Structure 1
Amino acid sequence: MSDIGKRRYWVFDLDGTLTRPVHDFARIRTELGLAPNSDILASLAALPSPQRERQMALLDELELFYAEQTEPASGVVELLDLLYLRDCRLGILTRNSQTVALRALTAIGADCYFDVQDVLGRDEVRPKPDPQGIELLLARWCTTPDNAVMVGDFRYDLEAGKTCGTATIHIDHGVHTPWPELTDLRITSLSQLLEIL
Protein backbone atom coordinates (compact mmCIF):
# COMPACT_ATOMS: atom_id res chain seq x y z
CA MET A 1 0.00 0.00 0.00
CA SER A 2 1.81 3.05 -1.32
CA ASP A 3 0.05 5.72 0.76
CA ILE A 4 0.71 4.21 4.20
CA GLY A 5 3.46 6.72 4.97
CA LYS A 6 1.08 9.60 4.29
CA ARG A 7 -1.49 8.49 6.85
CA ARG A 8 -1.48 10.57 10.02
CA TYR A 9 -3.46 8.45 12.49
CA TRP A 10 -1.77 5.35 13.87
CA VAL A 11 -3.23 2.75 16.22
CA PHE A 12 -0.86 0.19 17.69
CA ASP A 13 -1.31 -3.09 19.45
CA LEU A 14 1.05 -3.29 22.43
CA ASP A 15 2.39 -6.77 23.31
CA GLY A 16 4.53 -8.19 20.55
CA THR A 17 4.09 -5.01 18.50
CA LEU A 18 5.68 -2.15 20.45
CA THR A 19 7.23 -4.60 22.91
CA ARG A 20 9.20 -7.78 22.50
CA PRO A 21 6.89 -10.78 23.00
CA VAL A 22 7.32 -11.84 26.65
CA HIS A 23 3.89 -13.17 27.58
CA ASP A 24 3.71 -16.91 28.22
CA PHE A 25 0.09 -17.38 27.18
CA ALA A 26 0.21 -21.14 27.84
CA ARG A 27 1.22 -20.44 31.44
CA ILE A 28 -1.44 -17.73 31.79
CA ARG A 29 -4.13 -20.15 30.58
CA THR A 30 -2.87 -22.82 33.00
CA GLU A 31 -2.87 -20.37 35.92
CA LEU A 32 -6.44 -19.37 35.04
CA GLY A 33 -7.57 -22.97 34.54
CA LEU A 34 -8.43 -22.43 30.87
CA ALA A 35 -8.19 -24.79 27.91
CA PRO A 36 -5.08 -24.59 25.71
CA ASN A 37 -5.42 -22.09 22.82
CA SER A 38 -8.68 -20.71 24.23
CA ASP A 39 -9.45 -17.00 23.93
CA ILE A 40 -8.58 -15.82 27.45
CA LEU A 41 -10.94 -12.85 27.66
CA ALA A 42 -13.87 -14.65 26.04
CA SER A 43 -13.38 -17.65 28.35
CA LEU A 44 -13.29 -15.47 31.47
CA ALA A 45 -16.30 -13.44 30.32
CA ALA A 46 -18.30 -16.67 30.11
CA LEU A 47 -17.65 -17.55 33.76
CA PRO A 48 -20.34 -16.95 36.38
CA SER A 49 -19.93 -14.19 38.94
CA PRO A 50 -18.03 -14.05 41.37
CA GLN A 51 -15.64 -16.56 39.77
CA ARG A 52 -15.28 -14.25 36.76
CA GLU A 53 -14.20 -11.32 38.94
CA ARG A 54 -11.68 -13.47 40.84
CA GLN A 55 -10.15 -14.77 37.61
CA MET A 56 -10.02 -11.30 36.06
CA ALA A 57 -8.17 -10.05 39.16
CA LEU A 58 -5.69 -12.92 38.75
CA LEU A 59 -5.27 -12.03 35.07
CA ASP A 60 -4.51 -8.43 36.09
CA GLU A 61 -1.78 -9.71 38.44
CA LEU A 62 -0.25 -11.93 35.75
CA GLU A 63 -0.29 -9.12 33.20
CA LEU A 64 1.36 -6.69 35.63
CA PHE A 65 4.06 -9.32 36.22
CA TYR A 66 4.78 -9.43 32.48
CA ALA A 67 4.56 -5.63 32.13
CA GLU A 68 7.44 -5.33 34.59
CA GLN A 69 9.57 -7.51 32.28
CA THR A 70 8.64 -5.65 29.12
CA GLU A 71 11.40 -4.69 26.70
CA PRO A 72 11.03 -2.39 23.70
CA ALA A 73 10.74 -3.88 20.24
CA SER A 74 13.63 -3.04 17.93
CA GLY A 75 13.17 0.45 16.49
CA VAL A 76 10.11 1.37 18.56
CA VAL A 77 11.30 4.73 19.92
CA GLU A 78 12.79 5.76 16.58
CA LEU A 79 9.53 4.91 14.76
CA LEU A 80 7.31 6.70 17.28
CA ASP A 81 9.66 9.68 17.21
CA LEU A 82 9.40 9.88 13.41
CA LEU A 83 5.59 9.70 13.50
CA TYR A 84 5.46 12.25 16.32
CA LEU A 85 7.68 14.66 14.37
CA ARG A 86 5.33 14.24 11.38
CA ASP A 87 2.52 15.45 13.65
CA CYS A 88 0.74 12.08 13.60
CA ARG A 89 -1.76 11.10 16.29
CA LEU A 90 -0.85 7.85 18.06
CA GLY A 91 -3.08 5.47 19.97
CA ILE A 92 -2.92 2.08 21.66
CA LEU A 93 -5.57 -0.63 21.39
CA THR A 94 -4.80 -3.59 23.64
CA ARG A 95 -6.60 -6.50 25.23
CA ASN A 96 -4.68 -5.70 28.44
CA SER A 97 -6.05 -3.32 31.03
CA GLN A 98 -5.16 0.34 30.56
CA THR A 99 -3.12 0.24 33.79
CA VAL A 100 -0.97 -2.58 32.45
CA ALA A 101 -0.59 -0.83 29.09
CA LEU A 102 0.57 2.40 30.70
CA ARG A 103 3.05 0.49 32.85
CA ALA A 104 4.45 -1.28 29.79
CA LEU A 105 4.70 1.97 27.79
CA THR A 106 6.65 3.55 30.64
CA ALA A 107 8.93 0.50 30.85
CA ILE A 108 9.88 0.81 27.16
CA GLY A 109 10.26 4.60 27.24
CA ALA A 110 7.29 5.24 24.93
CA ASP A 111 4.70 6.74 27.30
CA CYS A 112 5.52 10.30 26.18
CA TYR A 113 4.13 9.61 22.69
CA PHE A 114 0.61 8.72 23.81
CA ASP A 115 -2.15 10.70 25.54
CA VAL A 116 -3.57 8.58 28.36
CA GLN A 117 -7.07 8.91 26.89
CA ASP A 118 -5.75 7.37 23.64
CA VAL A 119 -4.54 4.21 25.41
CA LEU A 120 -7.54 1.89 25.29
CA GLY A 121 -7.72 -1.42 27.10
CA ARG A 122 -10.37 -4.04 27.70
CA ASP A 123 -12.22 -1.89 30.25
CA GLU A 124 -12.57 1.11 27.94
CA VAL A 125 -13.79 -0.71 24.81
CA ARG A 126 -14.82 -4.16 23.65
CA PRO A 127 -11.70 -6.31 23.07
CA LYS A 128 -10.26 -6.83 19.61
CA PRO A 129 -11.17 -8.17 17.10
CA ASP A 130 -14.11 -5.83 17.77
CA PRO A 131 -13.30 -2.54 15.99
CA GLN A 132 -14.94 -0.35 18.67
CA GLY A 133 -11.59 0.92 19.98
CA ILE A 134 -10.40 2.06 16.56
CA GLU A 135 -13.77 3.67 15.87
CA LEU A 136 -13.62 5.54 19.18
CA LEU A 137 -10.11 6.83 18.49
CA LEU A 138 -10.98 7.95 14.96
CA ALA A 139 -14.06 9.77 16.24
CA ARG A 140 -11.99 11.45 18.97
CA TRP A 141 -9.38 12.45 16.40
CA CYS A 142 -12.09 13.68 13.95
CA THR A 143 -10.74 11.57 11.09
CA THR A 144 -11.78 8.69 8.85
CA PRO A 145 -10.43 5.14 8.39
CA ASP A 146 -8.83 6.00 5.03
CA ASN A 147 -6.36 8.23 6.89
CA ALA A 148 -5.54 5.65 9.59
CA VAL A 149 -3.39 2.57 10.14
CA MET A 150 -3.73 -0.38 12.54
CA VAL A 151 -0.43 -2.08 13.42
CA GLY A 152 -0.30 -5.44 15.18
CA ASP A 153 1.22 -8.89 15.39
CA PHE A 154 -1.95 -11.02 15.62
CA ARG A 155 -5.05 -11.60 13.54
CA TYR A 156 -7.30 -9.84 16.08
CA ASP A 157 -5.42 -6.58 15.38
CA LEU A 158 -5.72 -7.01 11.63
CA GLU A 159 -9.38 -8.05 11.80
CA ALA A 160 -10.22 -4.96 13.85
CA GLY A 161 -8.46 -2.73 11.33
CA LYS A 162 -10.02 -4.39 8.28
CA THR A 163 -13.52 -4.28 9.79
CA CYS A 164 -13.05 -0.59 10.52
CA GLY A 165 -11.59 0.14 7.08
CA THR A 166 -8.07 1.26 8.07
CA ALA A 167 -4.85 0.13 6.45
CA THR A 168 -3.32 -2.81 8.31
CA ILE A 169 0.31 -3.63 9.03
CA HIS A 170 1.20 -7.12 10.24
CA ILE A 171 4.39 -7.45 12.25
CA ASP A 172 5.19 -11.07 11.46
CA HIS A 173 7.47 -12.69 14.04
CA GLY A 174 7.16 -16.04 12.28
CA VAL A 175 5.07 -17.45 15.13
CA HIS A 176 1.70 -17.48 13.39
CA THR A 177 0.56 -18.30 9.90
CA PRO A 178 0.40 -15.03 7.91
CA TRP A 179 -3.01 -13.57 7.14
CA PRO A 180 -2.56 -11.98 3.68
CA GLU A 181 -6.30 -11.39 3.30
CA LEU A 182 -6.16 -9.12 6.37
CA THR A 183 -2.79 -7.47 5.68
CA ASP A 184 -1.91 -4.44 3.57
CA LEU A 185 1.76 -4.45 4.57
CA ARG A 186 3.68 -7.34 6.13
CA ILE A 187 6.93 -6.57 7.95
CA THR A 188 9.16 -8.46 10.37
CA SER A 189 10.06 -5.56 12.67
CA LEU A 190 9.37 -1.92 13.48
CA SER A 191 12.89 -1.18 12.24
CA GLN A 192 11.81 -2.43 8.81
CA LEU A 193 8.72 -0.21 8.96
CA LEU A 194 10.94 2.75 9.86
CA GLU A 195 13.01 2.13 6.71
CA ILE A 196 9.85 1.99 4.57
CA LEU A 197 8.56 5.27 6.01
Structure 2
Amino acid sequence: MTDTSILNRSCWIFDLDGTLTIPKHDFALIRRELHVPDDQDILGYLASLPSEQSEPLRAWLYDHELEIAKQTDPAPGVKHIIEALSHRGTQLGIVTRNTRALAIVSLEVIGLGDYFAEVDILGRDEAPPKPEPDGIHQLLSQWGAESSDAIMVGDYLFDLQSGRKAGAATIHVDTSEQYLWPEWTDLAIRDLVKLYEMMRCCTDSN
Protein backbone atom coordinates (compact mmCIF):
# COMPACT_ATOMS: atom_id res chain seq x y z
CA MET A 1 0.00 0.00 0.00
CA THR A 2 1.08 3.61 -0.53
CA ASP A 3 -1.14 5.70 1.71
CA THR A 4 0.83 8.96 1.90
CA SER A 5 -1.96 10.73 3.81
CA ILE A 6 -0.65 9.11 6.98
CA LEU A 7 2.49 11.26 6.80
CA ASN A 8 0.58 14.20 8.25
CA ARG A 9 -0.07 12.38 11.52
CA SER A 10 1.13 14.07 14.70
CA CYS A 11 2.74 11.14 16.56
CA TRP A 12 5.66 9.24 15.04
CA ILE A 13 7.07 6.19 16.81
CA PHE A 14 10.24 4.57 15.54
CA ASP A 15 12.04 1.31 15.92
CA LEU A 16 15.73 1.98 16.57
CA ASP A 17 18.18 -0.66 15.31
CA GLY A 18 17.97 -1.03 11.55
CA THR A 19 15.52 1.86 11.23
CA LEU A 20 17.22 4.95 12.68
CA THR A 21 20.59 3.19 12.55
CA ILE A 22 22.39 0.96 10.08
CA PRO A 23 21.80 -2.64 11.23
CA LYS A 24 24.82 -4.28 12.84
CA HIS A 25 23.36 -7.05 14.98
CA ASP A 26 24.53 -10.55 14.10
CA PHE A 27 21.47 -12.42 15.28
CA ALA A 28 22.88 -15.81 14.29
CA LEU A 29 25.84 -15.17 16.60
CA ILE A 30 23.56 -14.01 19.42
CA ARG A 31 21.38 -17.09 19.08
CA ARG A 32 24.42 -19.37 19.19
CA GLU A 33 25.93 -17.67 22.24
CA LEU A 34 22.63 -17.74 24.12
CA HIS A 35 21.69 -21.26 22.92
CA VAL A 36 18.35 -20.07 21.58
CA PRO A 37 16.42 -22.81 19.72
CA ASP A 38 15.80 -22.07 16.06
CA ASP A 39 12.05 -21.91 16.50
CA GLN A 40 12.08 -19.41 19.39
CA ASP A 41 12.40 -15.64 19.68
CA ILE A 42 15.51 -14.50 21.57
CA LEU A 43 13.75 -12.37 24.19
CA GLY A 44 10.92 -14.86 24.54
CA TYR A 45 13.41 -17.65 25.15
CA LEU A 46 15.26 -15.67 27.84
CA ALA A 47 11.95 -14.82 29.52
CA SER A 48 11.05 -18.51 29.68
CA LEU A 49 14.18 -19.46 31.64
CA PRO A 50 14.56 -19.50 35.43
CA SER A 51 16.32 -16.36 36.65
CA GLU A 52 19.48 -18.23 37.64
CA GLN A 53 19.84 -19.35 34.03
CA SER A 54 18.67 -16.18 32.31
CA GLU A 55 20.63 -13.59 34.29
CA PRO A 56 24.11 -14.48 32.97
CA LEU A 57 22.70 -14.71 29.45
CA ARG A 58 21.04 -11.31 29.79
CA ALA A 59 24.32 -9.88 31.07
CA TRP A 60 26.17 -11.24 28.03
CA LEU A 61 23.48 -9.83 25.72
CA TYR A 62 23.67 -6.39 27.34
CA ASP A 63 27.47 -6.24 27.04
CA HIS A 64 27.31 -7.39 23.41
CA GLU A 65 24.64 -4.85 22.53
CA LEU A 66 26.54 -2.08 24.34
CA GLU A 67 29.54 -2.60 22.07
CA ILE A 68 27.24 -2.41 19.05
CA ALA A 69 25.58 0.76 20.38
CA LYS A 70 28.94 2.48 20.84
CA GLN A 71 29.82 1.81 17.19
CA THR A 72 26.45 2.45 15.59
CA ASP A 73 26.03 4.56 12.47
CA PRO A 74 23.03 6.70 11.51
CA ALA A 75 20.77 5.48 8.75
CA PRO A 76 20.92 7.68 5.63
CA GLY A 77 18.47 10.56 5.89
CA VAL A 78 17.71 10.07 9.57
CA LYS A 79 18.85 13.50 10.75
CA HIS A 80 16.81 15.29 8.08
CA ILE A 81 13.58 13.49 8.83
CA ILE A 82 13.86 13.74 12.62
CA GLU A 83 14.74 17.44 12.40
CA ALA A 84 11.81 18.08 10.06
CA LEU A 85 9.35 16.22 12.29
CA SER A 86 10.63 18.01 15.37
CA HIS A 87 10.36 21.39 13.63
CA ARG A 88 6.69 20.82 12.84
CA GLY A 89 5.93 19.86 16.46
CA THR A 90 5.51 16.13 15.99
CA GLN A 91 5.55 13.89 19.05
CA LEU A 92 8.58 11.61 18.70
CA GLY A 93 9.05 8.28 20.44
CA ILE A 94 10.97 5.04 20.20
CA VAL A 95 9.84 1.51 20.97
CA THR A 96 12.75 -0.90 20.83
CA ARG A 97 13.44 -4.49 21.80
CA ASN A 98 16.76 -3.19 23.09
CA THR A 99 17.05 -1.59 26.55
CA ARG A 100 16.31 2.08 27.15
CA ALA A 101 19.88 2.67 28.36
CA LEU A 102 21.39 1.18 25.20
CA ALA A 103 18.94 3.10 23.02
CA ILE A 104 20.07 6.34 24.64
CA VAL A 105 23.71 5.44 23.94
CA SER A 106 22.89 4.79 20.27
CA LEU A 107 20.94 8.04 19.93
CA GLU A 108 23.81 10.05 21.40
CA VAL A 109 26.31 8.36 19.07
CA ILE A 110 24.25 9.20 15.95
CA GLY A 111 23.54 12.76 17.09
CA LEU A 112 19.84 12.43 17.90
CA GLY A 113 19.95 12.45 21.68
CA ASP A 114 18.30 15.87 21.95
CA TYR A 115 15.23 14.90 19.92
CA PHE A 116 13.82 12.16 22.16
CA ALA A 117 12.85 12.62 25.79
CA GLU A 118 13.97 9.71 27.96
CA VAL A 119 10.39 8.99 28.99
CA ASP A 120 9.50 8.61 25.30
CA ILE A 121 12.13 5.89 24.74
CA LEU A 122 10.64 2.54 25.69
CA GLY A 123 12.82 -0.55 25.80
CA ARG A 124 12.16 -4.16 26.69
CA ASP A 125 12.07 -3.33 30.41
CA GLU A 126 9.48 -0.54 30.09
CA ALA A 127 6.91 -2.47 28.03
CA PRO A 128 6.38 -6.01 26.72
CA PRO A 129 8.58 -6.35 23.62
CA LYS A 130 7.22 -5.96 20.11
CA PRO A 131 5.20 -7.45 18.44
CA GLU A 132 3.06 -6.63 21.47
CA PRO A 133 1.44 -3.17 21.09
CA ASP A 134 1.84 -2.11 24.73
CA GLY A 135 4.76 0.25 24.13
CA ILE A 136 2.82 2.19 21.51
CA HIS A 137 -0.24 2.37 23.74
CA GLN A 138 1.95 3.64 26.58
CA LEU A 139 3.42 6.45 24.49
CA LEU A 140 0.03 7.51 23.17
CA SER A 141 -1.32 7.59 26.72
CA GLN A 142 1.61 9.77 27.81
CA TRP A 143 0.93 12.15 24.94
CA GLY A 144 -2.85 12.20 25.33
CA ALA A 145 -3.15 10.99 21.75
CA GLU A 146 -5.22 8.41 19.88
CA SER A 147 -4.02 5.54 17.72
CA SER A 148 -5.45 7.37 14.70
CA ASP A 149 -2.82 10.08 15.35
CA ALA A 150 0.10 7.64 15.23
CA ILE A 151 2.57 6.07 12.84
CA MET A 152 4.91 3.18 13.66
CA VAL A 153 8.06 3.12 11.52
CA GLY A 154 10.25 0.03 11.42
CA ASP A 155 12.29 -2.39 9.37
CA TYR A 156 10.99 -5.71 10.68
CA LEU A 157 7.76 -7.67 10.98
CA PHE A 158 7.49 -7.16 14.75
CA ASP A 159 7.47 -3.37 14.27
CA LEU A 160 4.64 -3.56 11.77
CA GLN A 161 2.65 -6.04 13.84
CA SER A 162 2.91 -3.92 16.98
CA GLY A 163 1.80 -0.84 15.07
CA ARG A 164 -1.16 -2.53 13.45
CA LYS A 165 -2.24 -4.18 16.73
CA ALA A 166 -2.13 -0.75 18.40
CA GLY A 167 -4.31 0.74 15.67
CA ALA A 168 -1.52 2.94 14.30
CA ALA A 169 -0.50 3.33 10.68
CA THR A 170 2.65 1.42 9.72
CA ILE A 171 5.64 2.29 7.54
CA HIS A 172 8.01 -0.47 6.46
CA VAL A 173 11.56 0.72 5.74
CA ASP A 174 13.31 -1.94 3.67
CA THR A 175 16.59 -1.15 1.90
CA SER A 176 16.37 -4.48 0.06
CA GLU A 177 13.01 -3.39 -1.41
CA GLN A 178 11.58 -6.88 -0.91
CA TYR A 179 8.70 -5.66 1.30
CA LEU A 180 7.85 -9.07 2.69
CA TRP A 181 4.88 -8.12 4.87
CA PRO A 182 2.39 -6.08 2.79
CA GLU A 183 -0.52 -7.28 4.91
CA TRP A 184 0.96 -5.40 7.90
CA THR A 185 2.11 -2.33 5.95
CA ASP A 186 0.38 0.94 5.07
CA LEU A 187 3.40 2.51 3.36
CA ALA A 188 6.52 0.71 2.10
CA ILE A 189 9.64 2.77 1.46
CA ARG A 190 13.26 2.00 0.59
CA ASP A 191 14.93 4.24 3.17
CA LEU A 192 14.53 7.36 5.28
CA VAL A 193 15.87 9.53 2.46
CA LYS A 194 12.88 8.58 0.31
CA LEU A 195 10.55 8.88 3.29
CA TYR A 196 11.79 12.42 3.96
CA GLU A 197 11.26 13.37 0.31
CA MET A 198 7.78 11.89 0.34
CA MET A 199 6.96 13.66 3.61
CA ARG A 200 8.08 17.01 2.19
CA CYS A 201 5.96 16.54 -0.93
CA CYS A 202 2.96 15.57 1.17
CA THR A 203 3.43 18.64 3.41
CA ASP A 204 3.94 21.01 0.46
CA SER A 205 0.73 19.82 -1.20
CA ASN A 206 -1.39 20.70 1.84
Pairwise same-fold verdict (TM > 0.5): yes
Gaps in structure 1 of 5+ consecutive residues: none
Q: Which residue of 2 aligns with 1:43?
A: 45
In 2, Cα distance between equivalents of 1:60 and 1:3: 39
Asked whether the equivalents of residues 131 and 161 of structure 2 are also in contact (C-alpha less than 8 Å), the reply is yes
Q: 1:139 aligns with which of 122, 138, 141?
A: 141
1:121-136 residue pairs with structure 2 within 5 A?
Answer: 121-136=123-138
Query: Which consecutive aligned stretches of 4+ in structure 1 deviate over 4 angstroms post-superposition?
Result: none
Q: Do the aligned residues in 2 keep the contact of 1:131 with 1:163 (CA within 8 Å)? A: yes
Identity in percent:
48
- Within a 5 Å distance, the mapping from 1:152-167 to structure 2 comes to 152-167=154-169
* 1:1-197 → structure 2 map (5 Å cutoff): 1-36=3-38, 38-174=40-176, 178-197=180-199
Report how many aligned residue pairs link the two structures: 197
**Cα distance between partner residues in 2 of 1:177 and 1:35:** 26
Q: Secondary structure at the match of 2:172?
A: strand
Q: With structure 2 as the length reference, what TM-score do the two structures score? A: 0.92
CA distance in 2, matches of 1:93, 1:69: 20
8 A contact 2:6–2:169 mirrored in 1 = yes
* Partner Cα separation in structure 2 for residue 16 and residue 27 of structure 1: 17
Instruction: Kindly provide the amino acid, as one letter, of the partner of residue 142 in structure 1.
Output: G
Q: Which deviates more, 89-98 or 53-62?
A: 53-62
Q: Output the CA distance in 1 between the equivalents of 2:92 and 2:195.
A: 15
Alignment root-mean-square deviation, CA: 1.3
Q: Distance in 1 between matches of 2:25 and 2:83?
A: 26
Gaps of 5+ in 2: 200-206
